[in-house]
Structure 1
Amino acid sequence: MALAAVRPATLDDVAEIARIQLDTWRQAYAALLPADLLAGMDAESAETVWRQAIEQGPGLVFVATEGEWTVGFCAVLPAPEDEVAAADGALPEDALHVVQVGALLVEPRWGRRGHGGRLLATAAAAYREKGGVRGVAWVPQEDKASLNFYRSAGWDTDGTVRTLDAGGRPLREYRLTGSLELELRD
């Protein structure tokens, strides 16, 4: 395997991040999201979102590389209260120290090579330095690969589910949570 690494994203990465997002969603979520919704996503809009995220935050964006190729990315941010609250609205004691994985995608052709784990561990380390103790991520119920990935990192569902309107089709998601104390293994 070529040298694999994770680094903070720069504005030079915006086009590749948008391409990876669109290509990966169109491939991985074809059975979960309506075709017209996926077809309607465009690179220019995605690039605008990622440019703003990298320039202005409030979170951090990292890219995974293998050799000269950008193969994945991860965006994490301080978790908004409504993303960590219990079903009754009560906030956990650690609410101010929880981060949310807004996106973690690795192109399927680069999958199963440790890129996702390196991305999550790097993002977790960055937020541990800022006082973070726990992370949350929302994953579609049907996305077994992502559910298994987070579980392999020691994260698990916490019993909270939500249903989103995905272009007129309900999309049920599980909330997963886990420690930011992650270690990379060879």
Structure 2
Amino acid sequence: MLPTADVSVRPAVPGDEERIARIQLAAWRASHVDVLGEVVLDSLDEQAFVERWRQAVTAPPGPGYHVLVACDGPRVVGVASVAPVAPPDPMQAPGGVVLALEVDPPDQRAGHGSRLLAAAVDLLRADGADQVQTWVVEGDAARERFLSGAGLGPDGRSRRLATGPGPDEEAHVVTERRWYAGI
């Protein structure tokens, strides 16, 4: 019998929130420094992230909100969260949005992101969703390749978000593009 890796995805449980926050911040610092800038990334409050994740894990705002973690053995190495999206027409099925999908930089490219996305889509389907969407920071070519490989594509929608002061103290704005797939 060949040895197999002990990798999995499971629902997040109380106690995971500190590791989840660290993973999210490390992933953002590794992939978004060119877009968000060091000033914005250095201003992120880790404890505020921990508290938001604690709330998401222990008291989600309603049905259809889920937080998942990817594990390599007992170690939490990634996180995904999903939420329901109301259909544009009451006669259509609801959708779902991947709010977060991050893998700790040293553990990337080992299949954890794919497992998290597959589990997230399974949960959305179980909740009745017929499509999934997510938002991608413009210029995040690695995420675009990952999502494209998973069957998602840009749908033409975009939004601009102020992320805080830039180097010259004016608001730093990023553009996100929505990616979508039927499930």
Shared fold, TM over 0.5: yes
1:72-106 Cα distance to aligned partner (Å, 9 max, x none): 0000001267xxxxxxxxx3577651111100001
The alignment partner of 1:41 has SS state of coil
Please, which of 148, 152, 156 is the counterpart of residue 151 of structure 1? 148
Match of 1:40 in 2: 43
Query: Over the residues paired in the alignment, what is the CA RMSD in angstroms?
Result: 1.7
Structure 1 or 2, whichever has the larger Rg, is 2
Deviates more, 1:29-38 or 1:69-78: 29-38
Note if contact 2:86-2:94 (Cα within 8 Å) is conserved in structure 1: no
Please, which of 90, 102, 105 is the counterpart of residue 105 of structure 1? 102
Distance (Å, rounded) in 2 between the aligned partners of 1:151 and 1:103: 17
Q: Deviation of residue 36 (structure 1)?
A: 2.0
Distance (Å, rounded) in 1 between the aligned partners of 2:49 and 2:117: 21
- Unmatched 5+ stretches in structure 1: 82-90, 181-186
Q: Deviation of residue 179 (structure 1)?
A: 2.6
Match of 1:25 in 2: 28
1:127-185 Cα distance to aligned partner (Å, 9 max, x none): 211111111100011001111111111010011111111222221111000133xxxxx
Note if contact 1:77-1:102 (Cα within 8 Å) is conserved in structure 2: yes
Moved over 2 A (4+): 91-96
TM superposition score normalised by structure 1: 0.86
1:12-41 Cα distance to aligned partner (Å, 9 max, x none): 111100110111111211111132221111
The alignment partner of 2:146 has SS state of helix
Q: Deviation of residue 42 (structure 1)?
A: 1.9
> Per the alignment, do residues 149 and 64 of structure 1 end up closer, same or farther by CA in structure 2, a change over 3 Å counting?
same
Matches within 5 A, 1:11-90: 11-58=14-61, 59-79=65-85
TM superposition score normalised by structure 2: 0.87
Report % sequence identity.
35
Note if contact 2:153-2:181 (Cα within 8 Å) is conserved in structure 1: yes
